[in-house]
Amino acid sequence: MGDGVNCTDIDECHQNSSICEQLCYNSPGGYNCSCKEGYKTSEVNSAMCEDIDECQNSSVCGENTVCINGPGNYTCQCKDGYGGNPTIQCVDINECEASNTCPQNSICNNTVGSYQCECNSGYEGTNCTDIDECATSQYNCTSYSVCVNTNGSYNCSCQPGFTATGLQCTDIDECMSNSSLCNEHSTCENIIGGYLCKCDVGFIDVNGTCADINECSSASYCSADGQECVNILGSFTCMCRDGYIITNGTCLDIDECTTNTSNCSINAFCFNIGGSFVCQCKSNYTGDGVTCTDINKCEKNNTCPKNSMCHNTIGSYICNCNTGFEGENCTDIDECSIGTDDCGPNSLCFNTYGSFRCKCVTGYTGDGVQCEGKLSSIVLYE
């Protein structure tokens, strides 16, 4: 720039008027473009810079490393499982030296650049968890034994009721070794692996206790005529009921009426029934048959016919017709027709209900029993 007489160089780099991407170097009458370290001038445009991939050079980083290219630079890192200075050399790391490299119940095996975890016997999986040999049927126990899982293994234990004899489990006879196992009225019976308490005959189990069976609650026992069932502990017996007597093993009815062993009144009838008797008061007596009292028949209406008097007697009664009546029905007596009246001569008899009446005939006077003639009037004439 200048007046044409004196011209001075323009510093395009200072004035930021260059087209350089990174570095600008001024020169007389112009400028040059350059790139920063890690970059190179673009072959297409010299003002532009391209990143240099240093990782393409295998000798940039040390052994057992990884080269990571970045804008204008690169980084060297040791591979997984290695440690050291990556620009010089990386060596294998022994991961097994750390206490927590592998899970519990495992062994750590170091390898080049890595390691392996191997589960101990009886363990499996990523975290080396215990194998339940009992649940997965990976056990070898004998008959009558139970598999019991343990950490990393298992044990074989004899089932209850068995005892170990060498490698075998044999049955324990509990009944022989303990005579008091079972309750009263029961018997101990040994079974494989245990025992049973069986109630004796005549007893039944009720909540673990042998209770007596009341055979008499069933109608199938002692069902013959005259028998009754009597329960006894563990059994029963058949006995004759009241009113029966045993004869040759059979219960026969006692006839209290013919043997005069009843308590019926002398004024009652005795009726024998199976095992007992019934007393019934005779006619004209009242009561329970044991005590019978005379009924006053005369207190009842119509006991005797009309025109009679009722006279009560022990066990019966008598009907006496009133005077002037007779017969079963106490009908009126016609004294006049049968001549039982006491009307005198010269009188007429008139029957009345229950009696009669005498009346003197005309010309006579009196009470009818005695009638006297009347005097006629005499007229005297002078």
CA 61/CA 56 separation, integer angstroms: 11
Contact indicator for 380, 365 with CB cutoff of 8 Å:
no
Q: Is residue 268 part of a domain?
A: no
77 with 168, same domain?
Answer: yes
The boundaries of the domain holding residue 37 are 1-52
Q: Is residue 280 part of a domain?
A: no
91 with 1, same domain?
Answer: no
Cα–Cα–Cα angle for 175, 176, 181, rounded to 5 degrees: 35
36 with 100, same domain?
Answer: no
pTM over 0.85: no
25 with 89, same domain?
Answer: no
Contact indicator for 145, 167 with CB cutoff of 8 Å:
no
CA 368/CA 342 separation, integer angstroms: 9
pLDDT along the chain (382 residues), means of 10: 74 79 85 88 87 84 88 89 86 87 91 90 92 89 91 91 89 88 92 93 93 92 91 93 90 92 93 93 92 88 88 89 91 90 90 91 90 63 47
**Residue written as token pair 């199938």:** 220
Domain final residue pick, 123, 150, 175? 175
Q: Is residue 380 part of a domain?
A: no
SS3 335: helix
**Residue written as token pair 């030296």:** 97
91 with 18, same domain?
Answer: no
77 with 34, same domain?
Answer: no
SS3 54: helix
Number of compact structural domains in the chain: 3
pLDDT of residue 58: 75
82 with 170, same domain?
Answer: yes
Domain final residue pick, 129, 147, 175? 175
Q: Is residue 3 part of a domain?
A: yes
CATH number of the domain enclosing 9: 2.10.25.10
41 with 135, same domain?
Answer: no
**Residue written as token pair 């005498």:** 358
Half-sphere exposure of 285 (CA within 13 A, CB side): 20
46 with 83, same domain?
Answer: no
pLDDT of residue 296: 87
Rg (CA), the chain: 74
Q: Is residue 313 part of a domain?
A: no
70 with 39, same domain?
Answer: no
CA 31/CA 25 separation, integer angstroms: 5
Cα–Cα–Cα angle for 15, 16, 22, rounded to 5 degrees: 140
pLDDT of residue 210: 94
CA 324/CA 330 separation, integer angstroms: 9
Q: Is residue 317 part of a domain?
A: no
Tell me the longest C-alpha to C-alpha distance in the chain: 253
Domain final residue pick, 33, 52, 71? 52
SS3 375: coil
Q: Is residue 256 part of a domain?
A: no
CA nearest neighbour of 290 among 281, 302, 300:
281
Contact indicator for 181, 195 with CB cutoff of 8 Å:
yes
73 with 47, same domain?
Answer: no
Half-sphere exposure of 157 (CA within 13 A, CB side): 9
CA 367/CA 352 separation, integer angstroms: 16
Tokens representing 156 are 């074989």
SS3 204: strand
SS3 content of the chain, % helix, strand, coil (to 5): 5, 45, 50
| The dihedral formed by the CA atoms of 323, 326, 330 and 334, expressed in degrees to the nearest 10 | -80
CA 364/CA 370 separation, integer angstroms: 9
Q: Is residue 342 part of a domain?
A: yes
Q: Name residues whose C-beta falls within 8 Å of residue 121's C-beta, 6 or more positions apart in sequence.
A: 152, 153
CA 35/CA 22 separation, integer angstroms: 6
Q: How far is CA 301 from CA 285, 304, 309, 323, in A?
A: 17, 8, 12, 21
